[in-house]
Amino acid sequence: MLGVDHVFASDPKFATNPARNEHREELISKLEEIMVTRDADEWVRELTAKGVPAGPINFLDETLADEQTRARGMVVELEHPLVGLARSIGNPIHMSDGGPTYRRYPPQLGEHTEEVRREVAEGTT
């Protein structure tokens, strides 16, 4: 399917899953050489056309700009005191009545540590 049968089909190092695991570094190196020959959209189209589940792995900025992510209303924007408008991914589950609300900006490391400790100590969690 990838046009690389000549690379893998006759090589016993890649004939079985245990053999592929044993020669994993070499396998990954060879696959990387092949994968860089086309862009992700081309690979996804070819793989899905052959019945192989496939999709791109996006960086956060790509995910936030993705047409499907935006169409599903999954981009959450909240004002953050240090960075201004903070955008992140919301819950993918949408319910006809209710659902999640977004009231707080993404916390800084350790920002709520004392609050959580106090709640645990008081047994209010």
The structural domains of the chain, with segments of one domain joined by +, span 5-49, 60-122
pTM: 0.55
Q: What is the DSSP string of 67-88?
A: HHHHHTT-EEEEEETTTEEEEE
**Alpha-carbon dihedral sign for residues 65, 68, 70, 73:** negative
Q: How does pLDDT run across 40-59, given as a tens digit for each residue?
A: 999 999 999 989 999 989 99
Placement of tokens 């089909």 in the chain: 9
The pLDDT value given to residue 104 = 87
Collect contacts of 78-82 with beta carbons under 8 A, ≥24 apart. 78/102, 78/104, 78/105, 78/106, 79/105, 80/105, 80/106, 81/105, 82/108
Give the Cα separation of 124 and 89 in Å (integer).
28
